[in-house]
């Protein structure tokens, strides 16, 4: 018996090279279906990133890059907040007053309409502020006397607590507060406050100037900006501008109506209960209503504390009940009916926006965060195709002959 060395059987038929993709990758397929695949180094990298993990890593890198760019933008804007904040506030106020400006333009020139609305708003706000100041001055002395009496009553009630608070502890607390008010740290804080006041007045002047020019030439400024936009994207930009104007204006006007109802209800209750400073407290309720969720709670606590100090616990409980009733009326009826589509955000989104705005810019950030979030969501819906009606309307307007 003879043995022959093993030989690999040649394929019966060998076909031409078959391309399997770009980048120089080819295969020769034999009659048995076997493939001899040669992968170029560039294709190995492509295969590495084309899998599920590679796609996830690509998306993660894109998200990180966007977060870095967003953080850099926020940091840069925070460095020039004395310009950015007046600009944003002026834009919001102009959006609320713009329908009145358009109405005035039917009867007068744009310059005269802008001056009329601008000065008229100042007359209204100045009259309200003057009334509040005179009311506080007229009732301040009586409130101080009632506060002293209320403090003594609370001090007497403290003796009935499960834990005892001695007079020496109270005196020590008063001495600590007095020492702080006369210390160098408080003086440095006062100097910081003066610097902040200077920045405030600088921003206020800039706000008034920007607001006037927005009222006078807002439509021309927007038209000039749109002239630099490619024609293919112009309908979406126009729709975004209209949604911004509608959302900001509707939010401010709706919030003002809700705040006026809240202030009237709580102010009338304070006046009936003979609580001092009813008008200033009603004004605080009106202003605090522009900070959703947090503002109403703060104003209600303040009104209840004043009633407790000045009129006793029974009146304070009645005032607290009125505050809770008004807040329930606002949340369940006024907000859905008056605000409409202006604020279509979940309560959790509002709370997160308030927190971020407060961390970044304090009280001003808390006031601006919610309307800016609502505007951002409206713009996202336009560019993602969720709000196609507005874009189609502007596309039809652009296609129609002028």
**Residue 226 covered by a domain:** no
Give residue 97's pLDDT: 92
Domain co-membership, 344 together with 248: yes
Give residue 215's pLDDT: 93
* CA separation for the pair 84, 174 (Å, rounded): 42
> What does the pLDDT average to over 29-42?
51
Burial class (CB in 10 A: 0-12, 13-18, 19+), 192: exposed
Give how far Cα 232 sits from Cα of 228, 237, 332, 387, Å.
12, 10, 43, 17
Give residue 198's pLDDT: 63
**Residue 377 covered by a domain:** yes
Task: Quote the domain boundaries for residue 372.
Answer: 233-402
Give how far Cα 9 sits from Cα of 3, 12, 302, Å.
17, 9, 96
**Residue 102 covered by a domain:** yes
DSSP 167-178: HHHHHHHHHHHH
Whether residue 142 has pLDDT greater than 70: no
**Residue 211 covered by a domain:** yes
Domain co-membership, 363 together with 387: yes
pLDDT class of 31 with cuts at 50, 70, 90 = very low
Burial class (CB in 10 A: 0-12, 13-18, 19+), 2: exposed
Span 147-195, pLDDT tens digits: 666 666 666 666 665 555 566 666 666 666 566 555 555 444 444 444 5
pLDDT class of 214 with cuts at 50, 70, 90 = very high
Domain co-membership, 260 together with 115: no
Number of domains in the chain: 3
Burial class (CB in 10 A: 0-12, 13-18, 19+), 33: exposed
Domain co-membership, 239 together with 210: no
Q: How many residues are recorded in the chain?
A: 402
Whether residue 116 has pLDDT greater than 90: yes
Domain co-membership, 339 together with 284: yes
Domain co-membership, 399 together with 273: yes
Beta pairing, strands 14-19 & 35-38: unpaired
Q: Please work out, in degrees rounded to the nearest 5, the angle formed at the alpha carbon of residue 29 by the alpha carbons of 26 and 34.
A: 115
Q: Which of 300, 354, 301, 345 is nearest to 327 (CA)?
A: 300
Token pair recorded at residue 198? 């200077």
Domain co-membership, 254 together with 305: yes
> What does the pLDDT average to over 199-203?
77
Give residue 119's pLDDT: 93
CB 304 within 8 A of CB 295: no
Alpha helices in 158-277 (DSSP H): 167-181, 184-226, 234-272
DSSP 44-93: HHHHHHHSHHHHHHHHHHHHHHHHHHHHHHHHHHHHTHHHHHHHHHHHHH
């Amino acid at each position: 018996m003879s043995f022959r060395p093993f030989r690999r059987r040649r394929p019966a038929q060998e076909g031409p090279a078959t391309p399997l993709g770009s980048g120089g990758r080819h295969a020769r397929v034999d009659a048995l279906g076997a493939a001899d695949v040669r992968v170029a180094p560039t294709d190995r990298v492509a295969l590495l990133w084309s899998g599920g993990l590679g796609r996830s890593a690509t998306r993660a890198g894109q998200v990180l890059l966007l977060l870095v760019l967003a953080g850099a933008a926020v940091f840069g804007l925070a460095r020039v907040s004395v310009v950015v904040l007046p600009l944003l506030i002026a834009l919001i106020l102009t959006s609320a007053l713009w329908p009145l400006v358009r109405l005035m333009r039917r009867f007068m020139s744009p310059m005269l309409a802008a001056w009329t609305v601008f000065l008229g708003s100042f007359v209204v706000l100045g009259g309200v502020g003057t009334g509040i100041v005179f009311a506080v001055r007229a009732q301040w002395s009586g409130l101080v006397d009632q506060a002293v009496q209320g403090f003594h009553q609370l001090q007497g009630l403290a003796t009935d607590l499960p834990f005892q608070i001695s007079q020496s502890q109270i005196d020590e607390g008063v001495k600590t507060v007095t020492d702080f008010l006369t210390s160098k740290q408080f003086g440095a804080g006062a100097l910081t406050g003066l610097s902040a006041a200077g920045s405030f007045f600088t921003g206020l002047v800039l706000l008034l100037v920007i607001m006037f020019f927005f009222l006078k030439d807002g439509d021309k400024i927007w038209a000039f900006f749109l002239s630099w936009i490619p024609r293919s994207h112009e309908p979406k930009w126009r729709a975004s501008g209209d949604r911004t104007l509608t959302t900001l204006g509707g939010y401010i006007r709706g919030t003002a109506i809700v705040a006026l109802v809240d202030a009237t209800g709580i102010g009338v209750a304070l006046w009936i209960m003979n609580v001092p400073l009813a008008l200033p407290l009603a004004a605080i309720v009106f202003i605090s209503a522009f900070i959703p969720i947090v503002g109403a709670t703060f104003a209600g606590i303040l009104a209840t504390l004043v009633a407790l100090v000045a009129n006793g616990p029974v009146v304070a409980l009645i005032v607290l009940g009125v505050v809770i009733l008004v807040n329930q009326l606002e949340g369940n009826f006024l907000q859905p009916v008056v605000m409409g589509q202006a604020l279509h955000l979940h309560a959790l989104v509002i709370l997160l926006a308030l927190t971020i705005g407060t961390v970044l810019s304090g009280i001003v950030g808390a006031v601006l965060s919610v309307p800016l979030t609502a505007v951002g969501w409206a713009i996202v819906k336009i560019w993602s195709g969720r709000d196609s009606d507005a874009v189609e309307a502007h596309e039809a307007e652009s296609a129609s002959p002028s």
